[in-house]
Copies of this chain bind each other. A is one copy, B any other.
Amino acid sequence: MALIVMKFGGSSVADTQRLYRVAERITNTYKEGNDVVVVLSAQGDTTDELIAKAEEVNLNGSKREMDMLLACGEQMSVALEAMAIQRLGCPVVSLNAWQVGIHTDSRYSGARIRRVDASRIRMELDRKRIVLVTGFQGISPDGDLTTLGRGGSDTSAVALAVALKADLCQIFTDVDGIYTADPRLVSNAKKLQEITYDEMLELASLGAQVLHNRSVQMAKRYHVDLEVLTSFANVPGTIVKEVVKMEKVIISGVAKDCSIARIALVGLNNEPGVAYQLFSLLAKKKIDVDVILQSIGRGDSKDISFTVDLADCDEAAAVLEANRDELGFDHLDVRKDVAKVSIVGGGMLNTPGIAAAMFQALYEEHINIQMISTSEIKVSVLIDKAQADRAVRAIHSKFFD
């Protein structure tokens, strides 16, 4: 007997048929003798529909009221799922995050979990009930509803797994595990049995949006074993943990991220402090910068390039233009037709030539590399967006075929 936290995303509970598929999954785990705690997202497009309703009323409504509205999405999910489980004949109770005691700070729409009270859930588990909990939300120190931001349900699940000292936290998604590349793109992509937290973090930040990064970070910090698997089939998924089997492949996956843009400041004054000024300006606007590349200064001028989220690109460019005199650059070069392609894997640390093999794969496809960035377990390149899919296939083939 184990204590298992299961988390199902919005598409897994989108309609009555899917609610029942999930109910069977839950009750099967329960009937095997496990204590089962389930975290649910809002059904299908519910959250988007609620946001649309709010925007029809007021485009600038407060985040507090938005959280009050959005919290209904998961509350409806857990109530309906409980009814489905009741029909399957198992004892069940649904709880809102505030009833559990998922305590957060007061940052509406992007709250951080501070503390989880396990007592109510423990009591319900002692009564042999399946416990359903609303994901994505919490309660502030003032007793108001908060939401954790998009993808927050993963974080809710891991936080509950930590508080309950669960044996396993299963995250059910559209995909049946973590693959060496997007299976829609690379037909012979392989499913990984295991992957480390760090590799998962790199993959998540690279656009392979299977798990929310905050949840992986929390799982890593508290040593919670995660399993990523699908609710649409009964097959094992991928386990995310600290250390994986030694015979593992050198790289875990190839990923692309097409929602980025590159901004270059050309002819910057070659003075100390320019980079500091530049990135402080962007940080003030809460614009995250990813890959940064600075040319070697020649005489009194240098260039700095960096990538930002495509959604932040216009704002970033505007901020920089507005401060052109202060920063002292010649002109901005903005490109939105770029993509970042990366390989991730703990194995590359001790394996020379990984980056070279990646570059060779691109060269053989005549794909030009605009920028390169590396970390201990990752190599990323910036290339033309139109060539991104071809690049992923070529790199995957180089390492996995």
Contacts and interface: CB of A to CB of B under 8 A. Distances in A.
A84 interface: yes
A82 B62 CA distance: 9
Interface stretch (A52-60, A255-263, A280-288, A340-348): A52-60
A391 interface: no
A23 to B, nearest CB: 9
Nearest to A82: B65
A244 to B, nearest CB: 40
Interface string A73-111: 001101110111011000001101011000000000000
Contacts of A57: 16, 19, 80, 83-84, 87
Nearest to A19: B57
Interface residues of A, number: 37
A141 interface: no
A394 interface: no
Contacts of A161: none
Given A54-B80, A84-B57, A71 B75 contact: yes
B83 A65 contact: yes
Contact of A66 (B79, B93, B98, B143): B79
A166 interface: no
Give the oligomeric copy count.
2
Contacts of A120: 143
Nearest to A92: B65
A69 B83 CA distance: 10
Nearest to A20: B57
A144 interface: yes
A99 B62 contact: no
Given A16-B57, A19-B57, A144-B99, A79 B83 contact: no
Given A60-B87, A143-B99, A68 B82 contact: yes
A327 interface: no
Contact of A86 (B19, B62, B68, B79): B62
Interface in A7-59: 16, 19, 50, 53-54, 56-58
Given A16-B57, A62-B83, A98-B98, 9 more contacts: A16-B56, A50-B76, A57-B84, A57-B87, A58-B87, A61-B87, A62-B86, A72-B75, A120-B143
24 contacts: A16-B56, A16-B57, A19-B57, A53-B76, A54-B80, A57-B83, A57-B87, A58-B87, A61-B83, A61-B86, A61-B87, A62-B82, A62-B83, A65-B82, A66-B79, A68-B79, A68-B82, A69-B76, A69-B83, A71-B75, A72-B75, A72-B76, A75-B75, A98-B98
- Per CB-CB distance, the 6 closest pairs between chain A and chain B, nearest first, are A61-B83, A69-B79, A72-B72, A58-B83, A68-B79, A58-B87
